[in-house]
């Protein structure tokens, strides 16, 4: 007994030492209702659209070797230099939480010998990624992405198929006024010539650039075109455009992309300064936006995601040359848009809610629940509640059409009471007819 009192005293002191409750890390967030309902809805739509376009699901690890991202995303990118959650394991491995999906998808393609699979290989995935950056509306340090990748075709019509799918997916989510912007950043050959021209243009303006762009000037000059700092915007207008420096092959490829877009009626905006400044991108790059009066800034564009060709990605990881194209979308940003429309998702609903009275009834209800696993009737219950009032309140919250009431008398008689939650009319039936009665009554 004295020992127990001593342990209780220690717990009490430990509680007092916690001046504040442990809270979630900055930039992280709990996905709770109603946001979790939007997540579920988005994933369901993704599955449907992926099936229609012939994409199979692939799960890749959250944790990868740092070199995977350094070699593919690029060692001079902000993602690798500033934003990646990187650390050493106890065994000395240098690892990182994935900051994006494409690198992991490419590694999986190489490592699992997918070049020997029936071609083309179309894959999609969904899950959290991690970047250490200042949290913004709809952007967190742990954020969720949707990712679609198309491997083993260099045909420009594939670029258009992938972009069309992205627009189709966003519209299937219920997003209005989807805008597609696209550009070509050429191949390694013609891009080197363009980089030199761009560097010559910005050299005299370097001292007027923001601190990030001054750093990018030598490391990744293309990222100057991607800068959102107002200080750098005036210089972008007269900057050289990549489209003027495309080699013959890249120029032909992009002309075909634009031609296919027009033939298919896929609307787009040509943005000559769109670069998607990650090392694995080449040729066609694109981004998705929505623009309407409900967006922030009274109609300002809201970025939803983007992508492009990444024909060099497998080579960067010492794999076989494999042309590819794909895109990623931000789940939180899309869920925020859905949340502005109260009709975009319904409240949680059930067809029937079990209400039990007494201990034997709780056990009976648990036994009945097992029988509904293969039945299409949606049911709700809470055997942890004893109060009738609380159980009926839950039934109302879940918009149940019926309440199935089981008490001591019903246990003895092998019956149940069915209450219509709208009219309040109650009927009694034999317990062995429960499933048939619900199937007949549920609309």
Over 60: is that where the pLDDT of 6 sits?
A: no
Over 90: is that where the pLDDT of 371 sits?
A: no
Over 80: is that where the pLDDT of 136 sits?
A: no
pLDDT at 337: 84
Beta-carbon contacts of residue 383 (< 8 Å; ≥ 6 apart): 356, 362, 365, 366
Backbone angles phi, psi at 72, to 5 degrees: -95, -55
Over 60: is that where the pLDDT of 8 sits?
A: no
- Give the percent of the chain with pLDDT over 70: 90
Backbone angles phi, psi at 149, to 5 degrees: -135, 135
Q: Which of 323, 293, 289 is nearest to 303 (CA)?
A: 289
Average pLDDT over all residues of the chain = 85
Query: Model pTM?
Result: 0.78
Question: What are the respective helix, strand and coil percentages of the chain, to the nearest 5?
Answer: 45, 20, 35
CA distance 240 to 181: 19
Over 70: is that where the pLDDT of 135 sits?
A: yes
Tell me the per-residue pLDDT of 248-277, one tens digit each, with 9 for 90 and over.
Answer: 999 999 999 999 999 888 899 999 888 887
Domains of the chain and CATH, by start? 35-187+247-339 (3.30.930.10), 352-441 (3.40.50.800)
Number of neighbouring beta carbons within 10 Å of residue 174: 16
Beta-carbon contacts of residue 365 (< 8 Å; ≥ 6 apart): 354, 356, 381, 383, 406
pLDDT at 18: 57
Q: Who has greater pLDDT, 311 or 227?
A: 311
Whether 279 and 73 have beta carbons less than 8 Å apart is answered as yes
Q: How confident is the model at residue 13 (pLDDT cuts 50, 70, 90)?
A: low
Q: How confident is the model at residue 16 (pLDDT cuts 50, 70, 90)?
A: low
Q: How confident is the model at residue 296 (pLDDT cuts 50, 70, 90)?
A: very low
The stretch 205-215 carries a mean pLDDT of 81
* Cβ-based burial of 432 (10 A; exposed 0-12, middle 13-18, buried ≥19): exposed
pLDDT at 114: 93
Over 50: is that where the pLDDT of 297 sits?
A: no
- Give the percent of the chain with pLDDT over 90: 38
DSSP letters for 165-217:
HHHHHHHHTT--SEEEEEEE---HHHHHHHHHHHHHHHHTTGGGS-HHHHHHH
Tell me the per-residue pLDDT of 220-237, one tens digit each, with 9 for 90 and over.
Answer: 788 788 777 788 888 888
Q: Who has greater pLDDT, 405 or 198?
A: 405
Tokens 């992508």 sit on residue = 307
Q: How confident is the model at residue 292 (pLDDT cuts 50, 70, 90)?
A: low
CA distance 94 to 91: 9
| Residue 302 β-bridge partners | 290
Beta-carbon contacts of residue 203 (< 8 Å; ≥ 6 apart): none
CA distance 233 to 32: 39
pLDDT at 211: 83
The stretch 415-424 carries a mean pLDDT of 92
The stretch 188-217 carries a mean pLDDT of 83
341 three-state secondary structure? coil
Tell me the per-residue pLDDT of 66-119, one tens digit each, with 9 for 90 and over.
Answer: 999 988 887 767 788 788 899 999 999 999 999 999 999 999 999 999 999 988
């Amino acid at each position: 007994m004295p020992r127990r009192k001593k342990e209780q005293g220690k717990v009490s002191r430990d509680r007092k030492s916690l001046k504040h409750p442990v809270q979630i890390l900055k930039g992280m967030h709990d996905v709770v209702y109603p946001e979790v309902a939007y997540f579920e809805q988005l994933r369901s739509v993704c599955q449907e659209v992926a099936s229609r376009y012939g994409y199979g699901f692939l799960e890749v690890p959250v944790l990868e070797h740092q070199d995977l991202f350094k070699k593919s995303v690029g060692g001079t990118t902000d993602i690798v230099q500033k934003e990646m959650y990187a650390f050493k394991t106890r065994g000395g491995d240098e690892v990182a939480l994935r900051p994006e999906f494409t690198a992991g998808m490419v590694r999986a393609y190489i490592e699992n010998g997918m070049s020997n699979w029936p071609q083309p290989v179309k894959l999609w995935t969904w899950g959290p990624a991690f970047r250490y950056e200042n949290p913004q509306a709809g952007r967190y340090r742990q954020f969720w992405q949707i990712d679609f990748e198309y491997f083993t075709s260099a045909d420009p019509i594939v670029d258009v198929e992938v972009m069309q799918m992205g627009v189709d997916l966003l519209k299937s989510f219920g997003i209005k006024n989807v805008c597609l912007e696209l550009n070509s950043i050429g191949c390694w050959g013609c891009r080197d010539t363009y980089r030199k021209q761009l560097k010559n243009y910005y050299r005299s303006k370097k001292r007027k650039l923001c601190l990030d762009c001054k750093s990018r000037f030598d490391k990744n000059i293309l990222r100057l075109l991607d800068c959102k700092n107002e200080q750098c915007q005036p210089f972008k207008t007269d900057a050289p455009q990549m489209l003027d420096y495309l080699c013959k092959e890249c120029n032909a490829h992009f002309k075909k992309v634009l031609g296919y877009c027009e033939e298919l009626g896929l609307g787009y905006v040509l943005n000559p300064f769109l670069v998607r400044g990650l090392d694995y991108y080449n040729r066609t790059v694109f981004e998705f936006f929505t623009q309407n009066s409900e967006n922030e800034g009274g109609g300002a564009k809201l970025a939803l995601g983007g992508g492009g060709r990444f024909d060099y990605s497998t080579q960067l990881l010492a794999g076989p040359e494999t042309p590819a194209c794909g895109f990623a979308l931000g789940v939180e940003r899309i869920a925020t848009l859905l949340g502005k429309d109260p009709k975009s998702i319904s409240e949680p609903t059930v067809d029937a809610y079990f209400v039990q009275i007494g201990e034997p009834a709780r056990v009976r209800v648990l036994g009945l629940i097992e029988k509904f696993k293969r039945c299409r009737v949606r049911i709700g219950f809470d055997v942890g509640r004893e109060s009738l009032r609380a159980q009926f309140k839950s039934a109302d919250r879940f918009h149940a059409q019926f309440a199935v009431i089981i008490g001591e008398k019903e246990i003895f008689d092998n019956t149940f009471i069915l209450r219509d939650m709208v009219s309040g009319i109650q009927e009694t039936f034999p317990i062995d007819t429960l499933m048939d009665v619900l199937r007949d009554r549920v609309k």
